[in-house]
Structure 1
């Protein structure tokens, strides 16, 4: 039962950290790796990544729905396509540069496909958390 609560807590922490910069999912991932078995750490990393992706999709959708009056300007803008391309989204989700919150808003406003954004965000976040957690898990 406590493992289920831990996974649900990681899911909630991921979603909260996607929307509130004061909540740090990376710190949660590292702490979880020190306090759990390897199989549970894997589940926690996946739950964090799913939560973060869900939260970023909220930002993405809010920008997409609020972009109506800006759509014409974005369509004419050269930077909109480049700033929200797949490699930018994946790099932002993995490395944090440019900030994923800003990329989420820009991708939504520019009309990027929801599925493309969601998959790239999930893959990038998962890689990020795995890279943070593996050294800790191996050290223990």
Structure 2
């Protein structure tokens, strides 16, 4: 497969995985590490696709801030697990509303997955984080995450399959 085709496929897969939880971008990145010459292209395209998808969530939350708060309030009355989710969402919201903790939270979420990037994307949209800052932190974190996942497979493939 050509680099352009691989980039397009990875970009689309990244976008899909950002919006559909059962589509796993991490697994795609690991498999891509076994393909000679396309690992870097895949990492960047996958990260761009994921960032684009998370920006869609970010923008949707920004436009529907009042509706999101109503949904969370309704769910908080429906059980213990939902109440815990609302508490976590509240903490994330506070972290994202402070200038000194907002970008590190997004970067950590994008790189290590804690707190989940989907939740952070929604909360960042409602917290007033700048669009460009969110996008850059998300992209950097995703590139780091996917590069670390691809690296062992790419090194092993390069060492053992010359």
Q: TM-score range by the shorter chain?
A: 0.7 to 0.9
Pick one of 44, 49, 52 that aligns with 2:50: 52
Q: Map Cα deviations across residues 95-136 of structure 1 (whole Å, 9 max, x no partner).
A: 000000000000001111000000000000000000111111
Structure 2: where are the runs of 5+ without partners?
70-89, 158-162
Correspondence 1:60-99 to 2 at 5 A: 60-68=58-66, 80-83=93-96, 85-99=102-116
TM-score by length of structure 1 reads 0.88
Alignment length (residue pairs): 133
RMSD: 1.9
The Cα shift of 1:23 comes to 0.6
Structure 1 runs (4+) greater than 3 angstroms displaced: 68-71
| CA distance, structure 1, for counterparts of residue 105 and residue 9 of structure 2 | 29
Structure 1: where are the runs of 5+ without partners?
72-76
TM-score by length of structure 2 reads 0.76
Match of 1:74 in 2: none
| CA distance, structure 2, for counterparts of residue 136 and residue 49 of structure 1 | 18
Larger Rg: 2
Correspondence 1:1-40 to 2 at 5 A: 2-37=2-37, 40=38
